[in-house]
Amino acid sequence: MLFNTVEFVIFFTLVLVTISVIKHRKFQHLFLLFVSYFFFYFSSNYLIILLIYSTILDFYIGKEIWKSQSLRRKKILLIISLAGNLGLLGFFKYADFAILQFNILGNYIDLADTIPLLNLALPIGISFYTFQTISYTVDIYRGQLTPSKSLREFALFVSFFPQLVAGPIVRAKDFLPQLREKLTAFETGKKLRLISIHDKNLKLGITIMAFGFLKKMFFADNIAPIANDVFTNSIGATSLEIWLGTIAFSFQIYGDFSGYSDIAIGAALILGFKLPVNFNKPYFATSPSDFWKRWHISLSTWLRDYLYIPLGGI
């Protein structure tokens, strides 16, 4: 289910109406989990099994890492989590590419047989929920996060529908506390804070979503034919046409990515959840490094914290 469709507008409106009627925090969370799974199933059908697999795998591995007193066992559990998640991601994203390269090599060295392509369907959002569950287990391993208190809580963190399609990538240490406010309220004797549609959040959320729809549907979708025409028929194109096509593509891809992120951030805010800003005027960057600090911020910071620095970067 794409954001820029009538189906999503109807779906999101029904979610808001229903969640406003439910007056128990636990049932609100269960409802959000249900509609998040419905959202995924609507888009990817049976591939929802992969989302459930990643959720169950890292929920229980996270608990075992936290309970273990042995550093060696913690490392083994972390490796299992990484292998289970990255193996799945790599298989669905790159299996056909690997087979194609093997077949090209086989033709080059005159092998008789070729391996048929698997033609795998790429599960929607698999990169995003894979990175989220990996950050969860890594943060527990580092002692920076306590495990999720329930499978329901963790499943909602992984599958939360506004950011499931195209991010931003949310970290458990930022999202779980927003779900755990009910526990803090209960322990202190305060009234439980329900998910409610506050006027302030509603107005700001709708505004952010409107900018997202504007970027995606008005700019990106209308610029796309210009870029596609140049790159599809590049032979015979003039230098000016190629330059215009390249510039058009740069604005198209920005409109697509940042538009989707804005819609996700706005939708989550209406529901009472804060997601991180994902784009910060990237084309105003003054250097390549500054550009990557502004472009898809949740992904670039994830790569920095969980790949670059662990491998020796500073």
The residue segments making up the domain with residue 89 are: 1-196
Q: Is residue 172 one of the residues assigned to a domain?
A: yes
CA triple 76-82-86, angle to 5 deg: 150
Per the domain annotation, does 311 fall within a domain? Answer: no
Share of the chain above pLDDT 90, in %: 48
Whether 291 is covered by a domain: the verdict is no
SS3 content of the chain, % helix, strand, coil (to 5): 75, 0, 25
Give the residue with greater pLDDT, 187 vs 310: 310
What does the pLDDT average to over 57-73?
94
Residue 298 falls within a domain, yes or no? no
Torsion of CA 236, 240, 243, 248, to 10 degrees: -100
Domains identified in the chain, total number: 1
Lowest mean pLDDT among 77-81, 117-121, 207-211, 226-230: 117-121
Q: Is 6 part of a structural domain of the chain?
A: yes
Average pLDDT over residues 279-298: 90
Report the chain's mean pLDDT, rounded to a whole number. 86
Q: What's residue 297's pLDDT?
A: 92
Q: Does residue 299 carry a pLDDT above 80? A: yes
Is 231 within the bounds of a domain?
no
Residue 113 CB contacts under 8 Å (≥ 6 apart), including other chains = 106
Tokens, residue 56: 């169950």
* 24 Rama class: left (phi>0) / alpha (psi -120 to 50) / beta: beta
> Are 278 and 293 spatial neighbours (Cβ–Cβ below 8 Å)?
no
pLDDT for the residue numbered 195? 53
Select the more confidently predicted residue: 279 or 107: 279
Helix ranges (H only) for the chain are 6-21, 25-44, 48-67, 71-108, 126-141, 151-159, 172-179, 181-187, 199-213, 221-232, 239-270, 288-294, 297-303
d(CA 167, CA 127) in angstroms, rounded, equals 9
| pLDDT in the model for residue 314 | 61
What's the pLDDT at 187? Answer: 39
Instruction: Please tell me the predicted confidence (pLDDT) of residue 272.
Output: 87
Nearest-angstrom CA–CA distance, 85 and 191: 39
Q: What angle do CA 307, 308, 310 make, to 5 degrees?
A: 70
Q: What is the pLDDT of residue 189?
A: 43
Residues 60, 150: Cα–Cα separation, whole Å:
10
Q: Which of 5-9, 16-20, 58-62 has the highest mean pLDDT?
A: 58-62
Average pLDDT over residues 106-118: 72
Residue 140 lies in a domain: yes
For residue 124, pLDDT beyond 90: no
Confidence (pLDDT) at 123: 78
Query: Which residue in this structure is represented by tokens 């888009």?
Result: 43
| Predicted confidence band of residue 159 (pLDDT cuts 50, 70, 90) | very high
Confidence of residue 43 (pLDDT cuts 50, 70, 90): confident
Residue 186 has pLDDT above 50, yes or no: no
DSSP 89-103: HHHHHHHHHHHHHHH
Name the band, by pLDDT with cuts 50, 70 and 90, for residue 313.
Answer: low
In a domain, 179, yes or no: yes
Between 115 and 187, the more confident residue is 115
> How much is the average pLDDT of 280-308?
90
